[in-house]
Amino acid sequence: MSVVESDNYEPERRARRLAGPLFGAACLLATLTGVVVLSVVLGAVAAAALGHGSQHPWYAIGPNAWKLGRFLVSLTQKFSEDAGFRAGVYGSLWLLALTVLFAVPTGVGAAVFLEEFTPPGRLRRAIQMNIANLAGVPSIVYGILGLALFVRAFGFESFALGRSLWAGALTLALLVLPVIVLATQEALRSVPSSLRHAALALGASRWETVRDHVLPMAVPGILTGTILAVSRAIGETAPVLMVGAAGSIDWIPNGPGDRYTALPVEIYNYAKEPGVEFQSVAAGGILLLLVILLTMNSIAIVIRNKYRVPTR
């Protein structure tokens, strides 16, 4: 029997068959947008950083990276020969370590409480909504909060941390906290509940279940979220400026109570200098920042793969 023509359907149209490939092509273009733009920007930055004068390749990220950024303090020195990023690199690494120290235990703890210990209900929804909103608050707002709370302690001088690394790191910790909480919750939710039931049915308490089974299985997700959050924090300029990262200093912080500057703040300061040489200094700083961030992310990926739990 042959197929009988039916009048109930439109005759076959070419447009319909073309729609699929066209949509695919559009999606490909969308994908390429990000990649292409990022490559162009990176290329331009690299060119600017490396192309300062023919006799000084690697100008700003070579030996100068390890110079102290002191040009603002000694303005008599005309140029950028003394410009460098050592103070910023040290400041940013200090900030990074202290931020992780404050934000990860707090964020993971909050997420465990919400996911594992709070029954779903109005309280949990309220907290949940609060945290989701906090994640969307602009960073400058956290800067102002940090200034009032940590730097000045609302005027209680004995509690004020001043413009120290403590204040900067606590501010950044507040900034990344909601992101860490949300990422950890997501990771905890992806742990199958059959695993919790298995542990609880053996007579384990909630805490033992979370400690030995749920958290280890959630580690890859928690790490991913934490690293993304901290990477964002380390690139933040506005809140750190607000809580008093120095524009330029000519010493290196020795402890968390010291004053500091951060890499993005230094980049910003060099970039707004009128001298054209400083443009390449700023570009060098950007490359340096990217190298630090990419290194961090690679370390994270290695840790994540090591912790990966076999799944069924």
Partner 1 sequence: MTTRSPLRIEPTTPPDESPPMRPSDPLPALPPPKPDPATVPDPVISARSLCVWYGSSMALKNVDIDIPRHKITALIGPSGCGKSTLLRCFNRMNDLIPGARMEGTIKFEGIELADPSIDAVALRRRVGMVFQKPNPFPKSIYQNVAWGARINGYKGDMDELVEKSLRRAALWEEVRGKLHKSGLDLSGGQQQRLCIARTLAVEPEIILMDEPCSALDPIATAKVEDLMDELKEDYTIVIVTHNMQQARRTSDMTACLMLDEAAVQGGHRTGVIAEFSPTEKLFTNPSDPRTEAYITGRIG
Of positions 202, 255, 305, 306, contacts partner 1 by CB under 8 A: 202
153: left (phi over 0), alpha (psi -120 to 50) or beta: left
CA 184 – CA 110 distance, rounded (Å): 9
Q: Quote the least distance from Cβ 115 to partner 1, whole Å.
A: 13
Residues in binding contact with partner 1, number by CB under 8 A? 24
Binding residue for partner 1 (CB under 8 A) from 197, 295, 298, 302? 197
Site membership for partner 1, residue 130 (CB under 8 A):
no
Report the nearest approach of partner 1 to the CB of residue 302 (Å): 20
Binding range to partner 1, per CB under 8 A, among 30-38, 195-203, 244-252, 297-305: 195-203
Cα separation, 267 vs 279, whole angstroms: 9
Residue where the block lists tokens 């202290």: 98
Of 247, 262, 269, 270, nearest in space to 86 by CA = 262
| Residue with Cβ nearer partner 1 (61 or 188) | 188
Q: How far is the CB of 125 from partner 1 (least distance, A)?
A: 13
Sites for partner 1 among residues 247-286 (CB under 8 A): none
Kindly identify the residues of this chain, within the stretch 204-243, that bind partner 1 according to CB under 8 A: 204-205, 208, 212-213, 217
Stretch that binds partner 1, among 14-22, 77-85, 191-199, 231-239 (CB under 8 A): 191-199
User: Which of the ranges 4-12, 203-211, 276-284, 289-297 carries the binding residues for partner 1, by CB under 8 A?
Assistant: 203-211
Helices 215-235 and 276-307 sit at what angle, rounded to 10 degrees? Answer: 180
Report CA dihedral (261, 264, 266, 272) to the nearest 10 degrees: -140
* CB of 185 closer than 8 Å to CB of 175: no
**Which contiguous run of DSSP H or E holds residue 33?**
helix 14-50
Task: Report the distance separating Cα 143 and Cα 129, nearest Å.
Answer: 22
Q: Apex CA 268: angle with CA 292 and CA 90, to 5°?
A: 40
> Within positions 59 to 88, which residues make up the interface with partner 1, using CB under 8 A?
none
Q: Based on the shown chain and the rule CB under 8 A, indicate whether residue 201 belongs to the binding site for partner 1.
A: yes
Cβ proximity to partner 1, 173 vs 217, nearer residue: 217
Shortest CB 213 distance to partner 1, Å? 6
Q: Which is nearer to partner 1, 171 or 185 (CB)?
A: 185
Tell me: does residue 120 bind partner 1 (CB under 8 A).
yes
User: Can residue 187 be called a binding residue for partner 1 (CB under 8 A)?
Assistant: no
Q: Shortest distance, CB of residue 182 to partner 1, whole angstroms?
A: 22
The 3-state DSSP class for residue 132 equals helix
Q: Alpha-carbon distance 312 to 301, whole Å?
A: 22
Q: Is 311 in the site for partner 1 (CB under 8 A)?
A: yes
Among 203, 255, 276, 305, binds partner 1 (CB under 8 A): 203
Q: Name the strand (E) or helix (H) holding 297.
A: helix 276-307
21 binds partner 1 (CB under 8 A): no
Instruction: State how far the Cα of 255 lies from the Cα of 252, in Å rounded to an integer.
Output: 9
Which of 121, 136, 155, 274 is in the footprint of partner 1 by CB under 8 A?
A: 121
Angle at 174 between CA 218 and CA 139, to 5 degrees: 115
Is 96 within 8 Å of 77 (Cβ atoms)?
Answer: no
Q: Are 261 and 248 in contact (CB under 8 A)?
A: yes
Binding residues for partner 1, rule: CB under 8 A, are: 119-121, 192, 194-205, 208, 212-213, 217, 309-312
